[in-house]
Amino acid sequence: MLHHRHNALILTFALAGFVSAFATRLTDPLVAVIALDFEADPARVALLATCFALPYALVQPVLGPVADALGKRRIIAFALAFQAIFLMASALAPTLLLLLLLRVLTGAAGGGIFPVTLALFGDRVPLAERQVAISRFLACAIAGQMVGGAIAGLLEPLIGWRGILLLCGALTFLAMAIVLRDRTPEPRGRLNFADSVARYRFLLTYRPALTLFWAVGIEGMLVFGGFPYFANHLAETGLGGTREAGFTVAAFGLGGFLYAGLAPLLVARLGSRRMMRLGGGLAGAGLGGLALAPSAAAFIAAGGLLGLGFFMLHNSLQTRVTEVAPQSRASAVAMHAFHFFLGQAAGPLLMGWARAQVGFTPGMLVAAGGLLALGWVMGRKTNKA
Protein backbone atom coordinates (compact mmCIF):
# COMPACT_ATOMS: atom_id res chain seq x y z
CA MET A 1 0.00 0.00 0.00
CA LEU A 2 1.20 3.50 -0.82
CA HIS A 3 1.45 6.16 1.87
CA HIS A 4 -1.35 8.74 1.63
CA ARG A 5 1.22 11.44 0.80
CA HIS A 6 2.27 9.48 -2.26
CA ASN A 7 -1.32 9.03 -3.40
CA ALA A 8 -1.78 12.81 -3.06
CA LEU A 9 1.38 13.30 -5.13
CA ILE A 10 -0.02 11.08 -7.89
CA LEU A 11 -3.31 13.02 -7.91
CA THR A 12 -1.49 16.36 -8.14
CA PHE A 13 0.46 15.34 -11.23
CA ALA A 14 -2.17 13.02 -12.75
CA LEU A 15 -3.52 15.47 -15.32
CA ALA A 16 0.01 16.56 -16.25
CA GLY A 17 0.81 12.94 -17.12
CA PHE A 18 -2.48 12.65 -18.99
CA VAL A 19 -1.97 15.70 -21.22
CA SER A 20 1.69 14.86 -21.80
CA ALA A 21 0.77 11.50 -23.33
CA PHE A 22 -2.27 12.96 -25.10
CA ALA A 23 -0.05 15.52 -26.85
CA THR A 24 2.66 12.96 -27.65
CA ARG A 25 0.51 10.55 -29.66
CA LEU A 26 -2.12 13.09 -30.72
CA THR A 27 -1.31 13.25 -34.43
CA ASP A 28 -0.68 9.53 -35.07
CA PRO A 29 -4.29 8.56 -35.91
CA LEU A 30 -4.81 11.87 -37.76
CA VAL A 31 -2.09 11.51 -40.39
CA ALA A 32 -4.53 10.52 -43.15
CA VAL A 33 -6.98 13.41 -42.56
CA ILE A 34 -4.23 16.02 -42.13
CA ALA A 35 -2.64 14.78 -45.38
CA LEU A 36 -6.01 15.16 -47.11
CA ASP A 37 -6.54 18.64 -45.67
CA PHE A 38 -3.14 19.92 -46.83
CA GLU A 39 -3.08 17.76 -50.00
CA ALA A 40 0.25 16.31 -48.86
CA ASP A 41 1.98 12.94 -49.01
CA PRO A 42 1.04 10.89 -45.90
CA ALA A 43 4.73 9.96 -45.47
CA ARG A 44 5.53 13.66 -45.08
CA VAL A 45 2.67 14.19 -42.62
CA ALA A 46 3.91 11.17 -40.62
CA LEU A 47 6.98 13.31 -39.83
CA LEU A 48 4.77 15.09 -37.28
CA ALA A 49 5.71 12.25 -34.93
CA THR A 50 9.43 12.80 -35.51
CA CYS A 51 9.01 16.59 -35.23
CA PHE A 52 7.62 16.08 -31.72
CA ALA A 53 9.93 13.32 -30.53
CA LEU A 54 13.27 14.72 -31.71
CA PRO A 55 13.15 18.07 -29.85
CA TYR A 56 11.62 16.26 -26.87
CA ALA A 57 14.80 14.19 -26.80
CA LEU A 58 17.21 17.04 -27.50
CA VAL A 59 16.01 19.25 -24.62
CA GLN A 60 16.58 16.51 -22.04
CA PRO A 61 20.32 17.09 -21.43
CA VAL A 62 19.50 20.75 -20.69
CA LEU A 63 16.35 20.19 -18.61
CA GLY A 64 17.93 17.57 -16.33
CA PRO A 65 20.44 19.86 -14.60
CA VAL A 66 18.08 22.86 -14.81
CA ALA A 67 15.40 20.88 -12.96
CA ASP A 68 17.93 19.75 -10.35
CA ALA A 69 19.00 23.36 -9.81
CA LEU A 70 15.77 25.37 -10.08
CA GLY A 71 13.21 22.87 -8.82
CA LYS A 72 11.37 20.14 -10.68
CA ARG A 73 7.84 21.39 -9.97
CA ARG A 74 8.69 24.83 -11.39
CA ILE A 75 10.06 23.34 -14.61
CA ILE A 76 6.98 21.12 -15.00
CA ALA A 77 4.64 24.13 -14.63
CA PHE A 78 6.57 26.18 -17.22
CA ALA A 79 6.62 23.22 -19.62
CA LEU A 80 2.85 22.77 -19.31
CA ALA A 81 2.26 26.46 -20.03
CA PHE A 82 4.36 26.44 -23.20
CA GLN A 83 2.92 23.13 -24.40
CA ALA A 84 -0.59 24.58 -24.09
CA ILE A 85 0.35 27.70 -26.06
CA PHE A 86 1.98 25.75 -28.88
CA LEU A 87 -0.89 23.24 -29.11
CA MET A 88 -3.41 26.04 -29.52
CA ALA A 89 -1.22 27.77 -32.08
CA SER A 90 -0.94 24.46 -33.99
CA ALA A 91 -4.72 24.35 -34.30
CA LEU A 92 -4.53 27.58 -36.33
CA ALA A 93 -1.64 26.53 -38.61
CA PRO A 94 -2.48 27.50 -42.23
CA THR A 95 0.20 25.28 -43.81
CA LEU A 96 1.75 21.90 -43.16
CA LEU A 97 5.21 23.47 -42.84
CA LEU A 98 4.02 25.74 -40.01
CA LEU A 99 2.26 22.81 -38.35
CA LEU A 100 5.52 20.82 -38.47
CA LEU A 101 7.44 23.74 -36.94
CA LEU A 102 4.86 24.18 -34.17
CA ARG A 103 5.01 20.46 -33.51
CA VAL A 104 8.76 20.88 -32.96
CA LEU A 105 8.08 23.58 -30.34
CA THR A 106 5.36 21.48 -28.71
CA GLY A 107 7.78 18.57 -28.40
CA ALA A 108 10.46 20.79 -26.85
CA ALA A 109 7.95 22.06 -24.28
CA GLY A 110 6.54 18.60 -23.62
CA GLY A 111 10.02 17.34 -22.80
CA GLY A 112 9.81 19.15 -19.47
CA ILE A 113 6.73 17.32 -18.21
CA PHE A 114 6.91 13.53 -17.97
CA PRO A 115 10.66 12.92 -17.45
CA VAL A 116 10.96 15.68 -14.84
CA THR A 117 7.90 14.31 -13.03
CA LEU A 118 9.55 10.87 -12.89
CA ALA A 119 12.62 12.47 -11.31
CA LEU A 120 10.38 14.29 -8.82
CA PHE A 121 8.80 10.95 -7.87
CA GLY A 122 12.31 9.61 -7.36
CA ASP A 123 12.96 12.42 -4.88
CA ARG A 124 9.72 12.05 -2.94
CA VAL A 125 8.89 8.31 -2.99
CA PRO A 126 11.13 5.68 -1.35
CA LEU A 127 12.44 2.90 -3.59
CA ALA A 128 10.27 0.24 -1.91
CA GLU A 129 7.09 2.03 -3.08
CA ARG A 130 8.45 3.72 -6.19
CA GLN A 131 7.61 1.20 -8.94
CA VAL A 132 3.98 1.00 -7.78
CA ALA A 133 3.77 4.82 -7.48
CA ILE A 134 5.31 5.31 -10.93
CA SER A 135 3.00 2.66 -12.40
CA ARG A 136 -0.04 4.55 -11.06
CA PHE A 137 1.25 7.84 -12.42
CA LEU A 138 1.93 5.97 -15.63
CA ALA A 139 -1.72 4.91 -15.66
CA CYS A 140 -2.66 8.58 -15.91
CA ALA A 141 -0.38 8.96 -18.92
CA ILE A 142 -1.82 5.77 -20.37
CA ALA A 143 -5.29 7.27 -20.01
CA GLY A 144 -4.06 10.23 -22.04
CA GLN A 145 -2.93 7.90 -24.82
CA MET A 146 -6.12 5.88 -24.68
CA VAL A 147 -8.55 8.79 -24.53
CA GLY A 148 -6.48 10.73 -27.03
CA GLY A 149 -6.62 7.89 -29.52
CA ALA A 150 -10.37 7.43 -29.03
CA ILE A 151 -11.03 11.18 -29.28
CA ALA A 152 -8.95 11.43 -32.43
CA GLY A 153 -10.89 8.58 -34.01
CA LEU A 154 -14.39 9.54 -32.85
CA LEU A 155 -14.41 13.34 -32.62
CA GLU A 156 -12.37 14.17 -35.70
CA PRO A 157 -15.47 14.01 -37.96
CA LEU A 158 -17.26 16.41 -35.56
CA ILE A 159 -14.63 18.98 -34.55
CA GLY A 160 -11.79 18.20 -36.94
CA TRP A 161 -8.14 17.71 -36.13
CA ARG A 162 -7.83 21.40 -35.25
CA GLY A 163 -10.54 21.10 -32.60
CA ILE A 164 -8.73 18.14 -31.05
CA LEU A 165 -5.53 20.20 -30.76
CA LEU A 166 -7.47 23.03 -29.08
CA LEU A 167 -9.03 20.58 -26.61
CA CYS A 168 -5.62 19.18 -25.67
CA GLY A 169 -4.28 22.73 -25.19
CA ALA A 170 -7.12 23.66 -22.84
CA LEU A 171 -6.56 20.52 -20.73
CA THR A 172 -2.85 21.35 -20.55
CA PHE A 173 -3.59 24.79 -19.07
CA LEU A 174 -5.80 23.10 -16.45
CA ALA A 175 -2.99 20.67 -15.56
CA MET A 176 -0.63 23.62 -15.05
CA ALA A 177 -3.07 25.24 -12.62
CA ILE A 178 -3.27 22.03 -10.55
CA VAL A 179 0.51 21.59 -10.44
CA LEU A 180 0.96 25.18 -9.24
CA ARG A 181 -1.14 24.36 -6.17
CA ASP A 182 1.57 21.97 -4.91
CA ARG A 183 3.65 23.68 -2.21
CA THR A 184 5.85 20.79 -1.06
CA PRO A 185 9.45 21.99 -0.44
CA GLU A 186 11.91 20.37 -2.83
CA PRO A 187 15.70 20.22 -2.97
CA ARG A 188 17.46 22.73 -5.17
CA GLY A 189 21.05 23.39 -6.08
CA ARG A 190 23.05 25.82 -8.15
CA LEU A 191 23.15 25.59 -11.92
CA ASN A 192 26.78 24.89 -12.72
CA PHE A 193 27.71 24.07 -16.31
CA ALA A 194 30.91 22.24 -15.37
CA ASP A 195 29.05 20.08 -12.82
CA SER A 196 26.36 19.28 -15.39
CA VAL A 197 28.95 18.18 -17.94
CA ALA A 198 30.66 16.06 -15.29
CA ARG A 199 27.36 14.36 -14.37
CA TYR A 200 26.63 13.53 -18.01
CA ARG A 201 30.16 12.32 -18.59
CA PHE A 202 29.77 10.00 -15.63
CA LEU A 203 26.37 8.73 -16.77
CA LEU A 204 27.55 8.11 -20.34
CA THR A 205 30.56 6.12 -19.16
CA TYR A 206 28.83 4.26 -16.33
CA ARG A 207 27.94 0.90 -17.86
CA PRO A 208 24.74 0.15 -15.88
CA ALA A 209 23.29 3.55 -16.87
CA LEU A 210 24.48 3.32 -20.47
CA THR A 211 22.89 -0.12 -20.86
CA LEU A 212 19.54 1.26 -19.73
CA PHE A 213 19.81 4.27 -22.06
CA TRP A 214 20.56 2.15 -25.13
CA ALA A 215 17.81 -0.30 -24.23
CA VAL A 216 15.12 2.35 -23.93
CA GLY A 217 16.21 4.01 -27.19
CA ILE A 218 15.90 0.75 -29.09
CA GLU A 219 12.57 0.09 -27.39
CA GLY A 220 11.15 3.46 -28.46
CA MET A 221 12.30 2.94 -32.05
CA LEU A 222 10.82 -0.56 -32.35
CA VAL A 223 7.51 0.06 -30.59
CA PHE A 224 6.48 3.42 -32.05
CA GLY A 225 7.94 3.35 -35.56
CA GLY A 226 4.74 2.00 -37.07
CA PHE A 227 2.19 4.18 -35.24
CA PRO A 228 1.95 7.03 -37.81
CA TYR A 229 1.28 4.48 -40.58
CA PHE A 230 -1.62 2.65 -38.92
CA ALA A 231 -4.38 4.60 -40.69
CA ASN A 232 -2.79 4.30 -44.12
CA HIS A 233 -2.04 0.59 -43.67
CA LEU A 234 -5.62 -0.06 -42.59
CA ALA A 235 -6.95 1.88 -45.58
CA GLU A 236 -4.59 0.16 -48.04
CA THR A 237 -5.60 -3.29 -46.79
CA GLY A 238 -9.32 -2.48 -46.67
CA LEU A 239 -9.51 -2.93 -42.89
CA GLY A 240 -10.48 0.63 -41.93
CA GLY A 241 -8.93 4.06 -41.57
CA THR A 242 -8.61 6.92 -39.08
CA ARG A 243 -11.28 5.61 -36.69
CA GLU A 244 -9.74 2.14 -36.45
CA ALA A 245 -6.25 3.64 -36.08
CA GLY A 246 -7.55 5.74 -33.19
CA PHE A 247 -9.09 2.67 -31.57
CA THR A 248 -5.75 0.86 -31.93
CA VAL A 249 -3.93 3.67 -30.11
CA ALA A 250 -6.68 3.54 -27.46
CA ALA A 251 -6.26 -0.24 -27.17
CA PHE A 252 -2.52 0.28 -26.70
CA GLY A 253 -3.38 2.50 -23.75
CA LEU A 254 -5.89 -0.03 -22.45
CA GLY A 255 -3.13 -2.63 -22.39
CA GLY A 256 -1.11 -0.21 -20.30
CA PHE A 257 -4.06 0.24 -17.94
CA LEU A 258 -4.19 -3.51 -17.50
CA TYR A 259 -0.50 -3.48 -16.62
CA ALA A 260 -0.98 -0.63 -14.13
CA GLY A 261 -3.72 -2.59 -12.37
CA LEU A 262 -1.61 -5.74 -12.23
CA ALA A 263 1.70 -3.99 -11.40
CA PRO A 264 1.75 -4.67 -7.63
CA LEU A 265 1.06 -8.38 -8.21
CA LEU A 266 3.51 -8.64 -11.11
CA VAL A 267 6.30 -6.90 -9.20
CA ALA A 268 5.79 -9.23 -6.23
CA ARG A 269 5.44 -12.47 -8.23
CA LEU A 270 7.76 -12.00 -11.20
CA GLY A 271 10.39 -9.49 -10.19
CA SER A 272 12.13 -7.20 -12.65
CA ARG A 273 14.05 -9.84 -14.65
CA ARG A 274 11.10 -12.04 -15.58
CA MET A 275 8.84 -9.03 -16.13
CA MET A 276 11.24 -7.64 -18.73
CA ARG A 277 11.38 -10.97 -20.54
CA LEU A 278 7.62 -11.42 -20.50
CA GLY A 279 7.07 -7.80 -21.50
CA GLY A 280 9.40 -8.09 -24.48
CA GLY A 281 7.70 -11.31 -25.58
CA LEU A 282 4.18 -9.85 -25.34
CA ALA A 283 5.21 -6.63 -27.09
CA GLY A 284 6.84 -8.62 -29.90
CA ALA A 285 3.68 -10.70 -30.26
CA GLY A 286 1.65 -7.49 -30.42
CA LEU A 287 3.77 -6.07 -33.24
CA GLY A 288 3.52 -9.38 -35.06
CA GLY A 289 -0.26 -9.24 -34.67
CA LEU A 290 -0.36 -5.73 -36.14
CA ALA A 291 1.67 -6.95 -39.11
CA LEU A 292 -0.49 -10.01 -39.83
CA ALA A 293 -3.97 -8.97 -38.61
CA PRO A 294 -6.71 -10.28 -40.93
CA SER A 295 -9.36 -7.87 -39.63
CA ALA A 296 -9.77 -4.50 -37.93
CA ALA A 297 -10.77 -6.22 -34.68
CA ALA A 298 -7.58 -8.31 -34.72
CA PHE A 299 -5.49 -5.22 -35.49
CA ILE A 300 -7.01 -3.35 -32.54
CA ALA A 301 -6.56 -6.35 -30.22
CA ALA A 302 -2.89 -6.59 -31.25
CA GLY A 303 -2.52 -2.93 -30.25
CA GLY A 304 -3.76 -3.86 -26.77
CA LEU A 305 -1.29 -6.74 -26.48
CA LEU A 306 1.52 -4.42 -27.60
CA GLY A 307 0.52 -1.94 -24.90
CA LEU A 308 0.53 -4.56 -22.15
CA GLY A 309 3.97 -5.86 -23.11
CA PHE A 310 5.48 -2.45 -23.72
CA PHE A 311 4.46 -1.03 -20.34
CA MET A 312 5.71 -4.13 -18.52
CA LEU A 313 9.12 -3.70 -20.11
CA HIS A 314 9.23 0.09 -20.06
CA ASN A 315 8.12 0.59 -16.45
CA SER A 316 10.82 -1.84 -15.31
CA LEU A 317 13.44 0.17 -17.20
CA GLN A 318 12.05 3.48 -15.86
CA THR A 319 12.23 2.32 -12.27
CA ARG A 320 15.82 1.14 -12.70
CA VAL A 321 16.80 4.54 -14.15
CA THR A 322 15.45 6.45 -11.13
CA GLU A 323 17.93 4.56 -8.91
CA VAL A 324 20.94 4.02 -11.18
CA ALA A 325 22.53 7.33 -10.09
CA PRO A 326 20.60 8.82 -7.13
CA GLN A 327 22.98 11.78 -6.80
CA SER A 328 22.11 12.87 -10.38
CA ARG A 329 18.56 11.55 -10.60
CA ALA A 330 17.04 14.27 -12.81
CA SER A 331 20.02 14.08 -15.15
CA ALA A 332 19.76 10.28 -15.34
CA VAL A 333 16.02 10.44 -16.07
CA ALA A 334 16.70 13.18 -18.63
CA MET A 335 19.22 10.98 -20.46
CA HIS A 336 16.74 8.10 -20.29
CA ALA A 337 14.07 10.28 -21.94
CA PHE A 338 16.63 11.62 -24.43
CA HIS A 339 17.40 8.12 -25.69
CA PHE A 340 13.76 7.00 -25.57
CA PHE A 341 12.47 9.89 -27.67
CA LEU A 342 15.48 9.81 -29.97
CA GLY A 343 14.38 6.23 -30.66
CA GLN A 344 10.80 7.41 -31.19
CA ALA A 345 12.04 10.09 -33.60
CA ALA A 346 14.06 7.56 -35.60
CA GLY A 347 11.31 4.91 -35.62
CA PRO A 348 8.90 6.53 -38.14
CA LEU A 349 11.81 7.38 -40.44
CA LEU A 350 13.06 3.79 -40.44
CA MET A 351 9.55 2.35 -40.78
CA GLY A 352 8.83 4.76 -43.64
CA TRP A 353 11.95 3.51 -45.39
CA ALA A 354 11.06 -0.14 -44.68
CA ARG A 355 7.48 0.46 -45.88
CA ALA A 356 8.78 1.84 -49.17
CA GLN A 357 11.37 -0.92 -49.65
CA VAL A 358 9.69 -4.11 -48.44
CA GLY A 359 6.28 -3.11 -47.08
CA PHE A 360 4.67 -2.44 -43.71
CA THR A 361 4.22 -6.11 -42.77
CA PRO A 362 7.87 -7.24 -43.10
CA GLY A 363 9.05 -4.08 -41.34
CA MET A 364 6.75 -4.73 -38.37
CA LEU A 365 7.83 -8.38 -38.17
CA VAL A 366 11.49 -7.37 -37.96
CA ALA A 367 10.60 -4.92 -35.17
CA ALA A 368 8.69 -7.71 -33.38
CA GLY A 369 11.78 -9.92 -33.36
CA GLY A 370 13.86 -7.01 -32.07
CA LEU A 371 11.54 -6.46 -29.11
CA LEU A 372 11.57 -10.12 -28.19
CA ALA A 373 15.39 -10.07 -28.18
CA LEU A 374 15.51 -6.81 -26.21
CA GLY A 375 13.30 -8.14 -23.42
CA TRP A 376 15.38 -11.32 -23.15
CA VAL A 377 18.73 -9.47 -23.07
CA MET A 378 17.60 -6.89 -20.50
CA GLY A 379 16.08 -9.62 -18.36
CA ARG A 380 19.53 -11.22 -18.19
CA LYS A 381 21.30 -7.93 -17.47
CA THR A 382 18.98 -6.65 -14.73
CA ASN A 383 20.99 -8.03 -11.81
CA LYS A 384 24.17 -6.53 -13.23
CA ALA A 385 22.68 -3.16 -14.21
Find the CATH number of the domain harbouring 94: 1.20.1250.20
pLDDT, average across residues 140-162: 79
- pLDDT mean across residues, the chain: 86
Residue 2 has pLDDT above 80, yes or no: no
The phi and psi torsions of 95 (rounded to 5 degrees) equal -135, 160
Q: Cα(75)–Cα(77) distance, rounded to whole angstroms?
A: 5
Residue 1 has pLDDT above 70, yes or no: no
Question: In this predicted model, which residue has the larger pLDDT, 384 or 349?
Answer: 349
Residue 199 has pLDDT above 70, yes or no: yes
CA distances 221 to 148, 167, 343, Å, are 21, 28, 4
pLDDT at 223: 94
Q: Cα(381)–Cα(208) distance, rounded to whole angstroms?
A: 9
Where do the DSSP E strands lie in 195-305? none
SS (H, E, C) 113-134: CHHHHHHHHHHHCCHHHHHHHH
pLDDT, average across residues 308-314: 91
Q: How much of the chain, in percent, has pLDDT values that exceed 70?
A: 93
Question: In this predicted model, which residue has the larger pLDDT, 5 or 245?
Answer: 245
Question: In this predicted model, which residue has the larger pLDDT, 26 or 38?
Answer: 38
Q: Which residues contact 124 (CB under 8 A, 6 or more apart)?
A: 5, 6, 9, 184, 186
Lowest mean per-residue pLDDT among 239-248, 273-282, 375-384:
375-384
DSSP string computed for 137-186: HHHHHHHHHHHHHHHHHHHHHHHHHHHHHHHHHHHHHHHHHHHTT-----
Q: Cα(358)–Cα(117) distance, rounded to whole angstroms?
A: 40
Lowest mean per-residue pLDDT among 256-260, 292-296, 367-371:
256-260
CA distances 307 to 12, 181, 373, Å, are 25, 32, 17
Local confidence band at 384 (pLDDT 50, 70, 90 cut-offs): very low
What is the CA angle 226-231-236, rounded to 5?
100
Q: Cα(332)–Cα(191) distance, rounded to whole angstroms?
A: 16
230-274: pLDDT as tens digits: 988 999 999 988 889 888 988 988 888 888 778 778 877 877 778
Range of the domain at 254: 4-381
Question: In this predicted model, which residue has the larger pLDDT, 343 or 155?
Answer: 343
Local confidence band at 383 (pLDDT 50, 70, 90 cut-offs): very low
Residue 35 has pLDDT above 50, yes or no: yes
Local confidence band at 130 (pLDDT 50, 70, 90 cut-offs): confident
**Greatest CA separation for the chain:** 58
Q: How many structural domains does the chain have?
A: 1
Residue 228 has pLDDT above 70, yes or no: yes
pLDDT at 320: 81
pLDDT, average across residues 146-175: 85
Local confidence band at 76 (pLDDT 50, 70, 90 cut-offs): very high
Local confidence band at 189 (pLDDT 50, 70, 90 cut-offs): low
Element (H, E) at 95: none
DSSP string computed for 185-211: --------HHHHHHHHHHHTT-HHHHH
Measured in whole angstroms, the distance separating CA 216 from the mean position of its chain's CA atoms is: 11
Residue 200 has pLDDT above 50, yes or no: yes
Question: In this predicted model, which residue has the larger pLDDT, 292 or 130?
Answer: 292
Lowest mean per-residue pLDDT among 35-39, 148-152, 228-232, 285-289:
148-152
pLDDT at 385: 39
